[in-house]
Structure 1
Amino acid sequence: MTSNTRVVVIGAGLAGVRLARRLGELGVPALLVGEEEHRPYNRVLLAEVLAGRYAPEVIALPTPAGLTRARVSGIDRAERRVTCADGSVIAYDTLVLATGSNPVLPPLRGLFTTDGAELPEGVHAFRTMDDCLGLSKAVRPGMRAVVIGGGLLGVSAARALAQRGAQVVLAQQSERLMERQLDPGASGLVLRHLEELGVEVHTECRVRDVRCVGGAVRSVEMSDGYALDADLVVLACGVHPRVGLAQIAGLDVRKGVVVDDELRTSDPHIRAIGDCAQHADTVYGLATPALEQADVLAELLASEAGRSANASARYTGTRSLTRLTLAGQDFLDLAAFGEPTPRPGDDVIQLADATRGTYRKVVVRDDRLVGGVLVGELGTVGALARAWEGAEPLPSDGGPLLHLLTNDGGS
């Protein structure tokens, strides 16, 4: 089968779906190619599905009309066509790579089966809907679960498993949880939250070995020889851009697929957006930049197609705010933006309420808000984020900034 579509988008995640929908609104035909059998979904909310709070269909995205389910196996740049694993061929005028990212699988002894093809029974990555459904099916009250990785994904997974009744141990290699987003004070509140749910947290802890009996996991061994019994192991060690197709096609790939301000790769007929794209030496791996890139590219492609759109649209980077909202009875809400760790000479305003479990801190440099972190009661986050994004000088008396920190109606 051969089909001809002007714009072909590979990847039906947040970035690909957003682009296809925006192009449709602008009157540009687009074919979206996704390999997962599920309806496109919001990956950010997978932990809520694992926790049992949401059914899978609740986090589904509106599905564009032009969605084809197939796994793309190769790109022929000379002929401008892609080949799928089922043998079908799709021609394109413009190809967009929105291939996302893959989970990092750490080089642990015993992690892979003898043929290296799949993880042992009881060991799960946590990246896709299939991963989530597999974990949901496997978890049972009282079972021993070890989560490897204490970043955003690991914290979410550990909390979800604890809410399902598992005995959860979280092993984090660095000295504190979510160290990329949070400062020590906020990280400590996240630690307390997990411990109140019954999660046992080990920091500065390197996992060395996953031990299996009969092909099923039985324990996880640390570098100091200490072993944790495990019926279930979740790998939450981060992600890396999914760039295999781009590499085989000979595109410029470093950490991600290199793109310019028009999201154009080293091939003028191929663009890239989302987790797989590297813009100005940055791979974001976050939802907000992916959506912004999709919106900019939709405007550019619509303009090239002769539709009325913004031909001058450019992507110049995203000042993104990281927000984690874990709903339910044991509510946790946190946000971080910019640089929450001060440099020498920076001014810091910090408010903490141990009883309420709230923490607010902002960093000011040269009279400008450069970063902040908030945990609990985030009514001020909208106003603070706007002040940060605007990068405007703050009044010298500091009054308005203190008002932003303390006025819960500020968002």
Structure 2
Amino acid sequence: MTGRRRIAVVGAGMAAARFAARYVALGGTGRVTLYGAEPRAPYNRALLADVLTGRHDAEAIALPAGDAELRLGSETVALDPTRRTLTLADGRTEPWDELVLATGANPVLPPLRGLRRTDGGGLRERVHALRTLADCARLAEDAATARRAVVVGGGVLGVSAARALAALGLAVEIVHQGPHLIDRQLDAGAAAMLRDGLRRLGVEAYVGNRARAVVDTGEGDAVELAGGYRLGTDLVLIACGVRPRTGLAHAAGLKVAAGVLVDDALAASAPHVHALGDCVQHRGTVHGLSGPAWEQADVLAARLSGADPGALYRGSRTPARLSAGPLEYAAVGEAHLDTEDQAADPDLDVLRLTDATRGSYKKLVLRGNRLVGAILLGDLAAAGDLASAWRRDDPMPDPPLHLLTPRGAAR
């Protein structure tokens, strides 16, 4: 092989941009090309709700990509790992020496009647998903003429988007099938305080409820719940999570489960093919978070640049964090465990401090003398220290309540 090594990155999102920037920073000499289906340069999707409210504009959330060539509006439709080529939507075939799949994830669209247009061509009018800047622009346009909104899904995205729509002056209702809001990261106590905070902002939440249809009542649209009750609305936002985008990898014969399967070197099942970010399944886990995606990008950049050819990705211990205006939380580890779990796990201890007046909720979960989980809601001053203590997994001194004060965990 002569000339510069050609590194093709399929995708131009957060993980792809991080890889490209780190590859250059670490002294990589190959020619990196990002093939992105969107017409925009890489940007931070985690800030889309802030773009919706106007806190940030589209340019402010742009991400650097080193000196990579950006092939925007260039959707990759096929891969040939044997010939080391990829095919673009316009029919062009591009060669590569190393391939990085950073195809991201698609929004999950639940099986609601009336969700799609009658011609099957996509979501019906005034029904939205929120994954791209184009989605954000369409949602903002409809929100400008709306008074009411229903958000289907009460996870992180649903809560963030609901808060953003409320900030635009809409009356917002969340429909969430789970037992409480953000049930993958918060416990019932923290979620109850979050729900109260949302209510003060003009957002009502219906938990333990399943949406079954979007209907035209003759006087406007409504979201119909499983029990038959209807929530009138001017727009609907679907926020039911995401699913790894694996179609290209599967069609190319790569091993795929919930995501594209990779080993600790972030290598897929064909030579010279790698994957990272939301499309990846590593050691049985699909993270779907920016923190793990960037950690993976750093490892792969170190390997392919030659800065550290033996770098390995062992998995991530990444705190979950939401900053939604006055509503903020941080959660780490097995924060869902509670006092009822102590019967099956006698080494478990749960400590909790609650201040309903200030909207503050703090919880520590310890197994023996080690921190295995924590939640902070409303007061995040100790979040960094807690995350450090959890990552280190060192024995904790007694008593551990000092962890709930700033810098306490750093002692």
What amino acid does structure 1 have at the position aligned with 2:404?
L
Distance apart, 1:374 and its partner CA? 0.3
- The structure-2 alpha-carbon separation of the partners of 1:377 and 1:80, relative to structure 1 and needing over 3 Å to count, comes to same
Report the Cα distance in structure 2 between the residues aligned to 1:176 and 1:199, rounded to whole angstroms. 15
Aligned: 1:35 with 2:37: yes
TM-score normalized by the length of structure 1: 0.93
Letter of the 2:56 partner, please give it. Y
Cross-structure match for 1:287: 290
Choose the corresponding residue for 1:243, options 239, 243, 246. 246
Q: Secondary structure at the match of 1:39?
A: coil
Correspondence list, 1:19-34, <5 A: 19-25=19-25, 26-28=27-29, 29-34=31-36
Give the structure 1 partner of residue 184 of structure 2.
180
The 3 A distance-change label for structure 1 pair 361 and 113 is same
Aligned-partner residue type, residue 313 of structure 2:
Y
- Is residue 261–residue 316 contact of structure 1 (8 Å, CA) maintained in 2? yes
In the aligned structure 2, how far is the partner of 1:286 from the partner of 1:117?
30
Alignment of 1:55-134 (within 5 A): 55-65=57-67, 66-69=69-72, 70-134=74-138
| Kept after mapping to 1: 8 A contact 2:185/2:336 | no
The aligned residue for residue 154 of structure 1 is 158
The runs of at least 4 aligned residues of structure 1 exceeding 3 Å deviation read 407-411
Select between 232-241 and 80-89 the one with higher mean Cα deviation.
Answer: 80-89
1:338-368 alpha-carbon deviations (Å, 9 max, x no partner) = 0013331211121111111111111010210
Tell me by how many angstroms 1:144 deviates: 1.5
What's the CA shift for 1:375?
0.6
TM-score by length of 2: 0.93
Q: Give 1:219's aligned amino acid.
A: A
Query: Alpha-carbon deviation of 1:114?
Result: 2.4
Question: Partner letter of residue 134 of structure 1?
Answer: R
Question: How many Å apart are 1:217 and its aligned residue?
Answer: 6.7
Question: SS where residue 213 of structure 2 aligns?
Answer: strand
Counterpart amino acid of residue 49 in structure 2 = A
Matched, 1:386 2:388: yes
Letter in 1 for 2:403: L
Kindly state the Cα deviation for residue 64 of structure 1 after the two structures are TM-superposed. 3.8
Task: Report SS of the residue matched to 1:20.
Answer: helix
> Shift of residue 409 of structure 1?
7.5
1:245 partner letter: L
Counterpart of 1:368 in structure 2 is 370
Deviation at 1:402, TM superposition (A): 1.6
1:87 shift after superposition: 1.7
For 1:402 and 1:170, the matched residues in 2 are separated by 35
**What does residue 274 of structure 1 align with?**
277
Question: How far apart are 1:407 and its partner, in Å?
Answer: 3.3
Q: Match of 2:330?
A: 335
- The answer to whether the aligner puts 1:310 opposite 2:308 as a matched pair is yes
> Separation in 2 of the partners of 1:86 and 1:227?
45
CA contact (8 A) 1:361 1:373 kept: yes
Instruction: Give the match for residue 321 of structure 1.
Output: 319
Tell me the equivalent position of 2:147.
143
State whether structure 2 residue 9 is matched by structure 1 residue 14. Answer: no
Number of the residue aligned with 1:53: 55
AA in 2 matched with 1:127: R
Per-residue deviation at 1:322? Answer: 0.4
Q: Which amino acid in the other structure matches residue 323 of structure 1?
A: R
Q: Give, in angstroms, the shift of residue 406 of structure 1.
A: 2.4
- Cα deviation, 1:288-320, whole Å, max 9, x if unaligned, reads 0000000000111112xxxxx112210000011
CA distance in 2, matches of 1:89, 1:142: 45
In structure 2, the CA distance between the partners of 1:63 and 1:299, relative to structure 1 (3 Å rule), is closer
1:203 is matched with 207
- Aligned-pair distance for 1:213? 7.5
Consecutive unaligned residues in structure 2, runs of 5 or more: none
**Cα deviation per residue 1:267-296 (whole Å; 9 max; x = unaligned)?**
021100000000000000000000000000
Q: Is the 8 A contact 1:120 1:217 kept in 2?
A: no
Measure the CA separation in 2 of the matches of 1:81 and 1:183.
48
Q: Aligned Cα RMSD in Å? A: 1.8
Question: For the structure 1 residues 153 and 101, does the alpha-carbon distance in structure 2 shift closer, same or farther, using more than 3 Å as the test?
Answer: same
Instruction: Classify the secondary structure of the residue corresponding to 1:348.
Output: strand
Question: CA contact under 8 A between 1:383 and 1:404: conserved in structure 2?
Answer: yes
